[in-house]
Amino acid sequence: MKFTTLDELRAWLNHLAQEHDLIAPRDVDGHVLYRPVASSGEILFDYERPELSTKDYFLPATEVLLRTERRGGDVTLEEVLPDRKQVLFGIRPCDAQGLTVLDALFLQQEPPDVYYRHHRERTTLVGLACPQMWEGCFCTSMGGAPDDPTHLDVLLTAVDGGYAVQVVTEKGAALLEGLALEEREGEPPPQSLPPQSWGGPRGGAPKPVPVTPPEKWRALFEDGLWQRHGERCLSCRICTYVCPTCRCFDVTDRVVEVRPGLTRIERIRAWDACTSTNYRRIAGGHNPRPTKPERLRNRFYCKFCYYPEDFGPLGCVGCGRCIVSCPVNIDIREVLRDVAERSGE
Amino acid sequence: MSTSGINPLRPYLGHLAGVKDLATGIKLFQIELTESEGQAAFADYKPGQFAFVSAFGAGEAPFGITSTPALGPTLEFAINNVGHVTNTLHQLDVGDPVGVRGPLGNWFPMNEIKGRNVVVLGGGIGGAPLRPVIHTLLDHRADYGHLTILWAARSPDLLVFTDEYDNWRSASETELHLTVDRGDETWSGNVGLITQLLEKVGPLPQSAVTITCGPPIMIHFVTLTLKKLGFTLDQMLTTLEARMHCGIGKCGRCNLGEKFVCTDGPVFWQSEVAGFLESFL
Amino acid sequence: MSTSEEITREIRAQARELLESGQVSCIIGYEVGSRGRARPAFVHDADDVERLIWGPDCVHNLTVYLHDFKKPRKRGEEPPHVAVVVKPCDSRAINVLLAEQQIERERVFIIGVACEGVQGRGDPSRSPNLAARCIRCGDRVPVVYDVLLGEPPEVPPAEDDYADLARIGEMPPAERLAFWLHQFDRCIRCYACRQVCPGCYCTTCMFERDDGLWVDIGIEVPQKYMFHLGRALHLAGRCAECNECERVCPMGLPLSLLNRRLAREVETLFGYRAGREVALSPLLFELGEEGSPI
């Protein structure tokens, strides 16, 4: 197997940081977040699951789409796309799988989203395998695994004395050219272990979570389970914003500067959430999803029925963030188990 | 830095060529596109399609295109002043710059319904996407059967395209019926809901197709009344409204179940709508 | 002090009686959640009352759900009657909602529970680890209730010593601003703080307007700064200090510092703390004699 030490890795990352936007897990006031880093000294190498996904670096929470300048009757438009290459270091396999899920809509559905495409093209994903599953994790039920290299360019796995390095794509190979690698005896860490062999937060592997196919969801649209789970929802946006695959966004203009003869405007898009009360309110005041159970139902149907029917992959990678951050314990695993039971699986 | 290929979120530039008052709170905007890419994109749009009109500084919003290419390169939109973007548009003067993105969505299957009788039902601002349907029918009058237009509004001052009614009426094999929920001292015509007018007029379902647009509740009750008159859902066309932000199926806003109003619609047969997992109501 | 098991039994008995008699159509209480901790529960059926529990992890302020029951279920009907389980901090919020005419007293059956604090990470040396808000809470028994379960604890009411506020207050303005901008940088504008708050019930929040009149949709520090300070100002004199906003924040923003700062300001100016007593109207709605608190 290819092997490198932590010191070599650090030196390589320091070098990368000079020419690239380097994004890696950091401690931010006690919270582990994927954030820009200027040097490897800021990077956490020993962490569980960053509290937010890597979505922000491909579909930013706030993104300027167009810079508009208006001079009298003349308007010029300019797309805003950063020039630099980007490296996402320490990305967990579930977050990388989340990007593949978003690709199915933003890249593969015509017309492609030029901004998302630009960020995907300029970014290399260097993943770090999870040694175990964390609180809420159920990636193994969603077609993933804590050490799944599939959606990455490079996968690092911690081994004795350093890291095993698995090159997954040519893009990954190109990025690794500056990293000192040695060949070591032994097989690379075993991959794609059966789900039940992974350790969880309390020792044994988490219970598998049943995933009911989209066709069977249709019959449950009016089922009472949506009321049971939805009535305690607060209609906040936590689950949507921490999720690697939720992608709804809002678009608006804002005036950023007014001078005689010149107005500068930005057209921006920002994250939005279908859980929010007025999300679907239309001109005239009508809201087809006025209650919390209806909005909650839409979010789950989008993930497990609409997204796969329309675009292919399931809209969930089992990262578990929504489970640990929902203030009222709406648990996607519980919902999936109820759906499986109610659809007679 | 520029993008390779087309950016579907970037509007084509144009300016306001004309503004007319259409009804209380509703104006007709005439837009000329100034970029050749925009002119090419809109060379051949179809009735039922929509476009996002940008009021730079406020934002953009989707509107049914109310003109037809037969009228010339100018695009027309009937816009109700109900929110931030529409309010900003209403304050524009002729000559002011605007942006247009489109044409988006699907369209009314005007070729497929040739030879059939057509019943057009428009409520309020819902008449905007129906006007190009009527124009197409009138422009190719011989290709279609009998045309019945039922046109309604909450009050007389909210009726749209009043200056065209004589034109519509005087076409061959064409009847126009108007109604308002509430009359006023200028009004001597029908007073009542469009559903009541529909029952009174009683169009026959044989070889007919209906095209309805208006507020969701109006579409709902018109559908019920049409069924009473013997029409089946696969004879009924409608165009649905949903809040949209991108119009190209990415932002997730306009879904009704697994359908997106912007890409699977906005035009649907009622037989499709009946099978929707999620109601538009 | 009654045990959790005793109070659990009493809640279930009370709930059964209220549902069977038809006095209420729903009990808003707590149940055991999927992660072994309490979560809000809505019991609509007398057969379901065994779901209801009480314990030191019943941290949620359930009064926020009273806003969901203001409208009738069906046209032509009256709004429903509900019962809600409240701790002392939660009950203060009910007084605020009553003063603001958001709920009708007759439609809410208040099941009050005496409380010596819920679990939290306020001070690791205490057992059970008490939430910070409980360490400084001055109420042991709900301030309004229809029935009181559990014996008033022997632990005396605490006083808020505002030590954490003092630390912020001692910072020079530039440092204080830097502190808060740093906190707001972590905010993801999820609005959980607003959604969990019983006092935030505007149908359209001024910070979520379609026309972006006050802030645009960007999830950036300027908008988040406006939102948090604006929300705190809108709660001045109204915040019941249940501290749910701080508890639910996924990014650990110390929001209680803002609300308590303003609550103390209002108390200094008007001698008034929201929710302690049944008030006839919100604080700033009444004109008083010169020199009187209101």
Q: For residue range A44-68, what is the model confidence (pLDDT) as tens digits? A: 999 999 999 999 999 999 999 999 9
Task: Identify residue C262 by its one-letter amino acid code.
Answer: L
* β-strands A123-128, A154-159 pairing: parallel
pLDDT at C104 over 50: yes
pLDDT at B129 over 60: yes
Domain co-membership, B135 together with B227: yes
- Residue in B82, B242, B252 nearest the CB of A248: B252
Residue B30 maps to which CATH number? 2.40.30.10
Note the helical H segments in chain C.
4-20, 88-99, 132-135, 163-169, 173-186, 192-196, 221-234, 244-248, 256-270
Give how many domains chain B has, as a whole number: 2
Contact of C72 with chain A, judged by CB distance below 8 Å, is answered with: no
| Residue range A272-318, pLDDT digits in tens | 999 999 999 887 788 889 999 999 999 999 999 999 999 999 999 99
Considering only CB atoms, which chain C residues are within 8 Å of A238? 190, 192, 248, 250
Average pLDDT, chain A: 95
Note the helical H segments in C62-202.
88-99, 132-135, 163-169, 173-186, 192-196
The pLDDT assigned to B175 comes to 97
The pLDDT assigned to B2 comes to 37
Helix (H, G, I), strand (E, B) or coil at B175: strand
Domain co-membership, B90 together with B128: no
User: How many other CB atoms are there within 10 angstroms of residue A261's CB atom?
Assistant: 8
DSSP C219-286: -SHHHHHHHHHHHHHHTTTT-----HHHHH-TT---THHHHHHHHHHHHHHHS--TTSS--SS-GGG-
Domain co-membership, C133 together with C199: no
pLDDT at C288 over 80: no
Burial B225-255 (b: 16+ CB within 10 A, else e): bbeebebeeebbbbbbbbbbbbbbbbbbbbb
**Which residue's structure tokens are 């069924």?**
B227
Tell me the C-alpha distance between C243 and C246, whole Å: 6
Please confirm whether the linkage preceding A111 is cis (ω < 30° from 0): yes
pLDDT at B210 over 90: yes
Half-sphere exposure of B159 (CA within 13 A, CB side): 25
Name C155's Cβ contacts closer than 8 Å, sequence gap at least 6.
C116, C117, C140
Count, residues in chain A: 345
Domain co-membership, B197 together with B140: yes
Percent above pLDDT 70 for chain A: 99
Tell me the C-alpha distance between A138 and A146, whole Å: 9
- Which residue in chain C has the smallest CA separation from B59? C211
Give how many domains chain C has, as a whole number: 2
Contact of C204 with chain B, judged by CB distance below 8 Å, is answered with: no
Quick check: is B250 in a domain?
no
* Alpha-carbon dihedral sign for residues C37, C40, C42, C45: positive
The pLDDT assigned to C126 comes to 67
Domain co-membership, C172 together with C116: no
Domain co-membership, B76 together with B190: no
Domain co-membership, B126 together with B225: yes
Quick check: is B28 in a domain?
yes
* Residue A104 and residue B24 in contact, taking contact as beta carbons nearer than 8 Å: no
Domain co-membership, C240 together with C186: yes
Considering only CB atoms, which chain A residues are within 8 Å of C186? 28-29, 31, 33
User: How many other CB atoms are there within 10 angstroms of residue A204's CB atom?
Assistant: 11
pTM of the model: 0.95
Quick check: is C36 in a domain?
yes
Complex ipTM:
0.95
Task: Identify residue C162 by its one-letter amino acid code.
Answer: Y
Tell me the C-alpha distance between B86 and A283, whole Å: 10
Q: Which domain holds residue B37?
A: 12-104
| Residue range A117-135, pLDDT digits in tens | 999 999 999 999 999 999 9
CB contact under 8 A, B83 and C211: yes
Q: What's the rounded mean pLDDT across residues C77-96?
A: 96
CB contact under 8 A, A283 and B59: no
Task: Identify residue A157 by its one-letter amino acid code.
Answer: T
Q: Chain A 279-308, CB below 8 Å of chain B: which residues?
A: 279-284, 286, 288, 298, 301-302, 305-306
| Residue range C161-182, pLDDT digits in tens | 889 999 999 999 999 999 999 9
Quick check: is B271 in a domain?
no
**DSSP-based helix, strand, coil % in chain B, nearest 5:** 25, 30, 40
The pLDDT assigned to A191 comes to 66
Q: What is the DSSP letter of B270?
A: H
- Which residue in chain C has the smallest CA separation from A331? C34
> How far is B228 from chain A, CA to nearest CA, in Å?
26
| Residue range B43-97, pLDDT digits in tens | 999 999 999 999 999 999 999 999 999 989 999 999 999 999 999 999 999 999 9
Q: What's the rounded mean pLDDT across residues A188-205?
A: 79
Domain co-membership, B18 together with B65: yes
Domain co-membership, C185 together with C251: yes
**Cα separation of the two ends of chain B:** 44
The pLDDT assigned to A150 comes to 94
The pLDDT assigned to B243 comes to 87
Domain co-membership, C93 together with C15: yes
Tell me the C-alpha distance between C15 and C43, whole Å: 9
**Residue C127: pLDDT band by 50, 70, 90 thresholds?**
low
Considering only CB atoms, which chain A residues are within 8 Å of C48? none
CB contact under 8 A, C248 and A331: no
Please confirm whether the linkage preceding A149 is cis (ω < 30° from 0): no
Please give the C-alpha separations between residue B148 and each of A36, A198, A272, B114, in angstroms, as whole numbers: 64, 69, 43, 15
Domain co-membership, C125 together with C246: no
The pLDDT assigned to B4 comes to 46
Tell me the C-alpha distance between B72 and B246, whole Å: 27
Q: What's the rounded mean pLDDT across residues C126-150?
A: 87
CB contact under 8 A, C216 and A254: yes
pLDDT at A197 over 90: no
pLDDT at A210 over 70: yes
Residue B189 maps to which CATH number? 3.40.50.80
* Residue A279 and residue A272 in contact, taking contact as beta carbons nearer than 8 Å: yes
User: How many other CB atoms are there within 10 angstroms of residue A294's CB atom?
Assistant: 16
Phi, psi of A163 (to 5 degrees): -135, 135
Considering only CB atoms, which chain C residues are within 8 Å of B84? 210-212
Can you read off the two tokens belonging to residue B18? 């004309």
Which of A111, A280, A115, A117 is closest to B248 using CA atoms? A111
Count of A-B CB contacts under 8 Å: 133
Name C63's Cβ contacts closer than 8 Å, sequence gap at least 6.
C84, C86, C90, C91, C93, C94, C97, C198
Quick check: is C290 in a domain?
no
pLDDT at B1 over 50: no
The pLDDT assigned to A335 comes to 98
The pLDDT assigned to C32 comes to 97
**Residue A169: pLDDT band by 50, 70, 90 thresholds?**
very high
Quick check: is C285 in a domain?
no
Q: Which helix (H) or strand (E) holds B5?
A: none
Average pLDDT, chain B: 95
User: How many other CB atoms are there within 10 angstroms of residue C239's CB atom?
Assistant: 29
pLDDT at C11 over 60: yes
Please give the C-alpha separations between residue A206 and each of A133, C39, C147, in angstroms, as whole numbers: 8, 21, 42
CB contact under 8 A, B10 and A79: yes
Per the model's pLDDT, the better-predicted residue between C285 and C31 turns out to be C31
Q: What's the rounded mean pLDDT across residues A207-230?
A: 96
| Residue range A245-281, pLDDT digits in tens | 999 999 999 999 999 999 999 999 999 999 999 999 8
Domain co-membership, B121 together with B235: yes
Quick check: is B92 in a domain?
yes
Q: How far is CA A296 from the centre of its chain?
A: 20
pLDDT at B3 over 60: no
Contacts within 8 Å (CB) and 24+ apart, C40-44: C40/A232, C40/A328, C40/C65, C41/A232, C42/A231, C42/A232, C43/C15, C43/C19, C44/C19
Q: What's the rounded mean pLDDT across residues C6-31?
A: 97
Domain co-membership, B95 together with B24: yes
Residue A186: Cβ-neighbour burial (10 angstroms; 0-12, 13-18, 19+):
exposed
**Which residue's structure tokens are 């209650």?**
A291
* Residue C154 and residue C140 in contact, taking contact as beta carbons nearer than 8 Å: no
Please give the C-alpha separations between residue B3 and each of A116, A118, C294, in angstroms, as whole numbers: 12, 8, 63
Q: Which domain holds residue C232?
A: 163-277
The pLDDT assigned to A211 comes to 97
Quick check: is B249 in a domain?
no
Helix (H, G, I), strand (E, B) or coil at A28: strand
pLDDT at B120 over 80: yes
User: Using alpha carbons only, how large is chain B's radius of gyration in Å?
Assistant: 18
Q: What is the DSSP letter of B277?
A: S
Domain co-membership, C176 together with C116: no
Q: What's the rounded mean pLDDT across residues C215-239?
A: 97
Domain co-membership, B222 together with B185: yes
Domain co-membership, B65 together with B133: no
Quick check: is C287 in a domain?
no
